Amino acid sequence: MEDISLHILDIAENSLRAGAQNIIIRVIEHNNTLTLEIEDDGKGMKEEMLRNATNPFFTTKHGKKFGLGLSLLSQAAQEAGGEVKIENCKMHGIKIIASFNMDNIDSKPLGDLNKTIRVLKATHPEVNFMFEHITKNGETT
């Protein structure tokens, strides 16, 4: 994937396949670190799924041999000096936290966040998407 906004689109689609009706997407820029948080109220993941979620040869999709979305996000974060954490939420759903060192030469650009969120909202009007972007200047959009 060419930019972080495409990772957001992919992870949000995973949330939708898990039955999420509420998806929270946060992009937080602080100093030279970009943190991406995606939280949903879908069916969550069993412990085995959590352990294997970033393995490209693990998938829960029937008829598929590969699960590339989370593994590509994890790879992008690691290449940029960051990491990915995946955890079940207390009640239900999952939370994905990816960090990127934006000063790293291998860090991907942020991409067009507004377009990504508009596409998600237009194609899934039945789902409540909450988007928050906190810029380096502390501005919230």
Tell me what the mean pLDDT of segment 52-70 comes to.
61
What are the residue ranges spanned by the domains of the chain?
4-134
For the cut 70, the answer to whether the pLDDT of residue 59 exceeds it is no
pLDDT at 88: 87
Name the residue with higher pLDDT: 33 or 62.
33
pLDDT at 65: 44
Residue 87's nearest CA partner among 28, 34, 37, 133 is 37
CATH number of 4-134: 3.30.565.10
Report the alpha-carbon distance of residue 119 to residue 136 in Å, rounded. 25
Tell me what the mean pLDDT of segment 106-129 comes to.
96
